Structure 1
Amino acid sequence: MDALNEFVLTNGDRLWTWIILPLLAVLGIYFTVRSGVVQFRMIPEMFRTLTNKTPRDENGEPQSVSAFQAFTISAASRVGVGNIAGVGTAIAIGGPGAIFWMWTMAFIGGASSFIESTLGQAYKVRDKDGFRGGPAYYMQHGLKARWMGILFAVILIICFPFAFSSLQANTISATVSSSFGGEISWIPWVVGAVLAVLTGLVIFGGVRRIASVTQAVVPAMALLYLLVGLVIVGMNIEQLPVVFASIYTQAFGFNEVVGAALGTIIMTGVKRGMFSNEAGLGSAPNAGATAAVTHPVKQGLVQTLGVYFDTFLVCSITAFIILVSTPDLAGAGRGIELTQGAIVSNLGSWSNVLLSVIIFLLAFSSIIGNYYYGESNIEFITTSRKALTTYRTLVVVVIFAGSIASADLIWNTADGIMGLMALVNLVAIGLLSGVAFKLLRDYSQQRKAGLDPVFTRARLPEVTGIQCWEDELSVTGPIDLPVKRR
């Protein structure tokens, strides 16, 4: 097992160092420049589109999930153990400076997130629950490369509902076991069984049940965790200037405390950041494509806001909790242990139970979001109901197995698979980015004219492969027709 773990770790590091990191940086900067820094310039528009009314069908029912529900589905996947255990691991390996690179890549990745989610909306298709789409769909319909879509779909299914979800289950199990002193051997088995049952109850109910669950859970768990973080930061407010100084000063050089060279600091921050916010990874477009909106750019903006919500809010709170509480990182634990130790040292042993509840909400919502990403891609490969039922059953089994598996091997395997998934998606959005820029230009022109933007295929006749967006009536619905169009 140790040899396998070392093999996975070594080759995963090579993939990230020589291919993924340079491609992420180059494309992110290119998208930022070509879009006029859309990820910063249109922040007010992100909040406006988040609460847009959902277009309705001829029966007065929502065409699909709302913009906010799509945001919570993607946030459910983004906001998970990466925000607690992942940030703890980043700080333990790369020191405080890793947080600077996590922030930097979140900002640059915001442009990549905008491009991929806009494309996800543009090339979405209709299904019985509303809409579905994502990278596999824009690879087939935009690039005319179904083989590429199938390759991406297979990698995503292995990565999210299997590798990442087992990691979420493992973290829940480890946290609950730690709350009981880590001495009761049967706890992981019980936790795994409970998680498997709860997951099955939700995922066999379809995307609308998933949306209703995440809409309730995500805001509650985020607010609870942010409140805990603010209390701890407030208790150590005098340490805050020192924390900010360490984040910036240790981002560019050797960190004597944890022995991290510059390359390790950057790589750790980028990998853990991407695991958490998923910008450019190709996961969020699967959620963004489910939304019923009147213009593809609206979900591009909403999903970019999701990157900021994940990194600048939730990840940052974890970093501050650790750094204000553990100024000396020498000999500190990794992952969830580091975060857990920081919280308990400030709030007392009772907070172990509180953290277990938070971890459960974070990780369980991620499991649900990850599952949906897999479902969308299973349906891309085949429409067989038997295949979907088999997939759902396997997800439940993996959740149980992940609760009792080795955490190190799961982390390293997830990193490697995530790198492959990012590579395929980044190539696709690089080739299709021109379509996203045209959509952004169309959106901006309509906004300048004082309109709530509505997109139809006729507005960009040169773009082929678009499956929906036939006319204004199908986009806006018969109930919410615009009062004036140009």
Structure 2
Amino acid sequence: MLGILKDIDSIMYYPILLVILGFAALYFTMRTRFVQVRHFKESLRIIFEKPSDDRAVSSFQALMVSTASRVGTGNIVGVSTAICLGGPGAVFWMWLLAFFGASSAFMESTLAQIYKKKNKETGEYFGGPAYYIEQALHSKFFAGAFVVFLILTYGVGFNMLCSYNLQSTFIEYSFYNVKTTPYIIGAILALLVAVVLFGGGKRIVHITEIVVPVMGILYVLASLIVLIAHASIIPAVVKMVIHDAFNFKAIFSGMAGSCMIYGIKRGLYSNEAGVGSAPNASASADVTHPVKQGLVQMLSVYIDTLLLCSATAIMCLSSGILPSVKLSGAPYVQNALATVFGEFGPIFITVAMILFAFTTLIGNLYYVDNAVAYLNKKKVPGKRTMKFIHVICVFVIFAGAIIPMDAAWALADISMGLMTLINLPACFLLSSTVINALKDYEEQRQYREHPIFKAQDMGLEGLDCWNE
């Protein structure tokens, strides 16, 4: 079974996803005229805007929920795995994917805002790829398929992998026992998530809003200290990354295990640009124009890859510790930090992994809740049903701590790939709608601080929102 999963994983990413991701990212970048560069300053301005209703979800809160899912164990273990198995050049391909992929994030999140729905009872907004696929493309089949793959990805694949990655950080400690420690860690993590889940959805937003910025800042600070300590060899490290990234002889001699494919896989796993996950959080934001949330969501990709993933990569490569298959995962990062912090290094990574894993799991399950609501005729199921679903999710988290590493990565890669194969073509088909919305925003921005979106001006009919 593991062999079959790995074969499917390899074929899906090369050549299928390699071509689709590359084409989509370049196409969206060109059509938006490098929106990720032109409007970077504007996205920073928008991020702290407050919604008209104090009870509504702000752009910042929606960003934190999506970032909670993006920023996680992938920033530590994913990057380390890519370097150890694919080579230093994987970092360059992660950078490239993030830069061009930011335009994909803009497209999908803007679409989620345009086609979002409003809960008449609570006044809350919701939506995502399933909603714009169904309403704009009139395909309930692909909308339903996307939702099923999303549940498999975030409720099963990513959560199992996240749980496995967390328990793997304890391998470096003397008390680690392969027969018992994974079970103990899995049980504790599952219990902590259960406490939050059964406390209600609002608590998810509040917890991620506080924890995500703090854990990101602390991790970057620790990385900077290591970088300063090894500053003299950083130029050589950057040169090594670029040289390895363009070693096409090595790449094409073993494409499936090359730095390019590992960079794309782990980059996509980390920043999720174009996967279709972030739009579920983007739709919940209360903004005056859909483009605002599209611009804000670009930042999440930059925060994840260009900031946190880069911090991990450069820190590890400048530490003097040579990457190897044996060090793949958390051990490579722990050893890198130990060169400066000594015994405190592995402990810090363990604490960071606990925080990363916890917020990743919470962010993932926020998406699962939205997906389940879609399958339930776009209504949140009863409390008993949701409790039952959450119990299953908690059990999956426990199970993830005790499965083999290769199986965890393969399951996550495959389910994520299936989501992307549905979402990106949908974004491509609806790209004109986003381009028109972007033009409308840019025109209004010339004479007003807060552009207002009106569906009738865009020739859009039948929308739940934007009709006032």
Q: CA deviation at 1:183?
A: 3.1
1:370-391 Cα offsets, whole Å, 9 max, x none, are 0001111110110332443322
Does residue 186 of structure 1 match 2:180? Answer: yes
1:190-205 equivalences in 2 (<5 Å): 190-205=184-199
Question: Which residue of the partner structure matches residue 80 of structure 1?
Answer: 72
1:341 to 332, 335, 346: 335
Match of 1:70 in 2: 62
How many Å apart are 1:327 and its aligned residue? 5.5
Which residue does 1:312 correspond to in 2?
306
In 1, Cα distance between equivalents of 2:417 and 2:351: 31
Q: Which of 82, 85, 90 lines up with 2:82 in the alignment?
A: 90
Q: Does the Cα contact within 8 Å between 1:95 and 1:260 map onto a contact in 2?
A: no
Rounded Cα–Cα distance in structure 2 between residues aligned with 1:175 and 1:332: 13
Partner of 1:469: 466
Q: 1:393 to 1:445 in 2, by over 3 A?
A: same
Quote the residue 1:123 is aligned against.
Answer: 115
Q: Equivalents in 1 of 2:23, 2:178: separation in Å?
A: 49
Match of 1:475 in 2: none
Check the 8 A contact 1:221/1:362 in 2, yes or no: yes
Q: 2:172–2:331: 8 Å Cα contact kept in structure 1?
A: no
* Of 1, 7, 12, the match for 1:10: 7
CA distance in 2, matches of 1:440, 1:293: 14
98 and 231 in structure 1: CA distance in 2 versus 1, 3 angstrom threshold: same
Q: Secondary structure at the match of 1:325?
A: coil
Structure 2 CA distance for aligned equivalents of residues 465 and 271 of structure 1:
38
**1:220-247 C-alpha deviation (Å, 9 max, x unpaired):** 1101110110011111011100111011
Q: Report the TM-score when normalising by structure 1.
A: 0.91
Residue 263 of structure 1 deviates from its aligned partner by 7.3
Do 2:58 and 2:287's aligned partners in 1 also have CA atoms closer than 8 Å? yes
Aligned equivalents of 1:95, 1:305: Cα separation in 2: 27
**Contact 1:136 1:150 (8 Å CA) reproduced:** yes
The amino acid across from 2:49 in the alignment is: N
Tell me, yes or no, if the aligned pair for 1:93 and 1:260 is still in contact at 8 Å.
Answer: no
Which residue pairs with 1:321 in the alignment? 315
Q: Which residue of 2 aligns with 1:444?
A: 442
> C-alpha separation between the residues in 1 aligned to 2:462 and 2:70?
29
Q: Deviations over 1:175-200 (max 9, x none)?
A: 23533442374332222222112211
Q: Pick which of 359-368 and 179-188 moved more.
A: 179-188
Q: What code does the residue aligned with 2:51 have?
A: T
Which of 431, 434, 440 is residue 433 of structure 1 equivalent to? 431
User: How many residues align structurally?
Assistant: 461
CA distance in 2, matches of 1:75, 1:165: 15
**Which residue type is aligned with residue 420 of structure 1?**
L
Report how far residue 28 of structure 1 moved: 1.0
Aligned partner of 1:286 in structure 2 is: 280
Q: Secondary structure at the match of 1:137?
A: helix
Deviates more, 1:247-256 or 1:398-407: 247-256
Which of the numbers 338, 360, 366 marks the counterpart of 2:354?
A: 360
Runs of 4+ in 1 over 4 A off after TM superposition: 254-257, 259-263
> What is aligned with 1:477?
none
Give distance in 2, aligned partners of 1:400 and 1:409: 15
Determine if contact 2:36/2:298 at 8 Å carries over to the other structure: yes
Q: Is the 8 A contact 1:281 1:425 kept in 2?
A: yes
Query: 1:107: which partner in 2?
Result: 99
CA distance in structure 2 between the partners assigned to 1:448 and 1:207 by the alignment: 38
Q: Which amino acid aligns with 2:111?
A: L
**SS across alignment from 2:456:** helix
Instruction: Give the distance between the partners of 2:408 and 2:249, measured in 1 at CA.
Output: 27
The Cα shift of 1:158 comes to 0.4
Contact 1:177 1:187 (C-alpha < 8 Å) held by counterparts: no
TM-score (norm 2): 0.94
How many angstroms does 1:345 deviate by? 3.0
Given that residues 76 and 329 in structure 2 are in contact (C-alpha distance below 8 angstroms), is that contact kept between their aligned partners in structure 1? yes
What is the CA–CA distance in structure 2 between the aligned matches of 1:35 and 1:126, rounded to whole Å?
A: 28
1:279 Cα offset (Å): 0.3
Structure 2 residues not aligned, in runs of 5+: none
The answer (yes or no) to whether the contact 2:333–2:349 under 8 Å persists in 1 is no
Cα distance in 1 for residues equivalent to 2:245 and 2:173: 34
Q: Determine the C-alpha separation between the residues in 2 that align with 1:326 and 1:118.
A: 43
CA 1:34–1:331: 2 relative to 1, 3 Å: closer
1:201 shift after superposition: 1.8
Of 47, 51, 56, which residue of structure 2 is paired with 1:54?
A: 51
User: Partner residue of 1:483?
Assistant: none
User: How much does 1:401 deviate?
Assistant: 1.2
- Amino acid in structure 1 at the alignment position of 2:199: G
CA positional deviation for 1:351: 2.2
Q: 1:327 and 1:174, CA in 2 relative to 1: closer, same or farther beyond 3 A?
A: closer
Query: Is contact 1:179–1:353 with CA below 8 Å preserved after alignment?
Result: no
Contact 2:335 2:345 in 1 (8 A): no
Residues 177 and 188 in structure 1, CA contact (< 8 A), matched pair in contact too = no
Structure 1 gap segments, 5+ residues each? 472-486
Q: Which secondary structure does the structure 2 equivalent of 1:142 belong to?
A: helix
- Alpha-carbon spacing, 1:254–1:430, altered in 2? closer, same or farther (3 Å): closer
Equivalent pair of 1:9/1:416 in contact (CA under 8 Å) = no
Distance (whole Å) between structure 1 residues aligned to residue 289 and residue 201 of structure 2: 21
C-alpha displacement at 1:205, in angstroms?
3.1
Q: Mark the CA change 1:196 to 1:328 in structure 2 (over 3 Å): closer, same or farther.
A: closer
Alpha-carbon RMSD across the aligned residues, in angstroms, is: 1.9
Change (3 A) 1:249 1:203: same
Displacement of 1:331: 5.8
| 1-structure distance, mates of 2:256, 2:365 | 36
Map of 1:457 onto structure 2: 455
Q: 2: distance between equivalents of 1:55 and 1:355? A: 40
Whether the 8 Å CA contact 1:295–1:454 is kept in 2: the answer is yes
The offset of 1:329, in angstroms, is 3.2
Give 1:374-413 correspondences, 5 Å limit. Answer: 374-382=368-376, 383=379, 384-385=381-382, 386-413=384-411
> Which residue does 1:484 correspond to in 2?
none
Deviation of 1:346 (Å): 2.8
Q: 1:423 is matched with which residue?
A: 421
Q: Which amino acid aligns with 1:21?
A: L
CA contact (8 A) 2:85 2:325 kept: no
Matched letter for residue 437 of structure 1:
I
Secondary structure class of the residue paired with 1:189: helix
2:58, 2:285 within 8 Å by CA — same for their partners in 1?
A: yes
Tell me which of 125, 129, 132 is aligned to 1:138: 132
User: Aligned partners of 1:404 and 1:436: how far apart in 2?
Assistant: 44
The 8 Å contact of residues 232 and 321 in structure 1, kept in 2 or not, is answered as: yes
The one-letter code matched in structure 2 to 1:154 is V
